[in-house]
Amino acid sequence: MNETVKLADLQQGVRPVDHPTVRMGRIGVLLLNLGTPEGTSYWPMRRYLKEFLSDRRVIETPRLLWWPILNLIILTKRPGPKGRDYASIWNNERDEGPLKTITRSQAEQLAAHLKSVAGDKVTVDWAMRYGKPEVRERIQALLDQGCDRILLVPLYPQYAAATSATACDQAFRALMEMRWQPTVRVSPPYYDDPAYIDAVVDSMKRDLAKLPFEPEVILVSFHGVPKEYLLKGDPYHCQCVKTWRLMREKFGWPADKFRMSFQSRFGTAEWLQPYTDKTVEALAKSGVKRMAIVAPGFSADCLETLEELDGENREIFMHNGGEQFAYLPCLNDSQDGMKVIRHVVERELQGWI
């Protein structure tokens, strides 16, 4: 520090001439979602899959066993087929996946709302755990704008180590390299929050009213994880079950007509059951002709909902005797969806604004 600076100047906040520029006093909100490839061709898909499947939170198999499988088999064979799957849902106008389009809109709408509440004191940004925009980059962008307090908002209603935890891991890695860390809060999962349950059910009812048929069964599908993760203490399964129960109670249907399942498994290990594809097949074979699927564990539509549920599972149902099938969209950036995000963020910003 410049020794010629007087004590009175320091007390008044006057900095020496060689002091680095300091920006502070603002609040940042960072929405975090899973991620999407930068393109549907082989190499962008390979980079995305490598980053995703190299995460120890996602794949807990010992590295000596997993690395040969990942690098010699999966990253050689899967980029092509997965790229074609992404191409079927791609936002060609923006040249990006729908998850990125929707998450950006969620951030923009939240920013407009918070500006009306707190003026220019709060800056909202968004990032992806895998792919771009990168978590580290967007945290730095918030710091550069003077945000010395940051609220991290993992956009996963139910907590899992492979979703919420790994998103926060990435943020914490960035913080570990910072000399002057911001004060950080992390919003908790909101799987049983009445605002979330009400929004999901109200959205479902509006979408169902638009259908030309009444479903005999509604299937509530959550993303699956290996059963081993549950046995190790991950709360995800229990939180999914509670979300489903609260939805069913509010919806008013019996359990045999309002079912739950888990999707997106891969590999040979046992995953959380019942499996979505097997459940859809069994329903069709049992004589169910009309059904609908909803995926409340996703805050935005993506490959797992648009291609897997509305594509693959629709085909499974129709191929096995079903006649009418509907996929009910996620909350996305709809009025209901934004109501939930605003509720969570405003609750967690208490004491800051």
Alpha carbon distance, N-terminus to C-terminus of the chain:
34
Asked whether the beta carbons of 78 and 49 are under 8 A apart, the reply is: yes
Which residues are annotated binding-site positions for Fe(2+)?
Answer: 223, 304
Positions of E strands within the chain: 26-35, 122-130, 147-154, 183-186, 217-223, 258-263, 290-294, 324-328
Based on its alpha-carbon atoms, the radius of gyration of the chain, rounded to whole angstroms, reads 23
Distance of alpha carbon 66 from its chain centroid, rounded?
A: 25
What is the spatial distance between Cα 78 and Cα 42, in angstroms, rounded to a whole number? 9
Phi, psi of 35 (to 5 degrees): 140, 170
Distance of alpha carbon 232 from its chain centroid, rounded?
A: 22
Sequence-distant (6+) residues with CB within 8 A of 292 are: 208, 211, 215, 217, 218, 219, 325, 326, 327, 328
SS3 state of residue 88: coil
Please name every residue paired with 262 in a beta bridge, in sequence order, or none if there are none.
Answer: 222, 275
The DSSP code sequence of 262-274 is EE---SSS-BSSS
Asked whether the beta carbons of 99 and 300 are under 8 A apart, the reply is: yes
Which residues are annotated binding-site positions?
Answer: 223, 304
Asked whether the beta carbons of 262 and 224 are under 8 A apart, the reply is: yes
Q: Which of 257, 56, 265, 83 is nearest to 162 (CA)?
A: 56
Phi, psi of 257 (to 5 degrees): -105, -10
Instruction: Give the chain's length.
Output: 353
**Maximal C-alpha separation, the chain:** 87
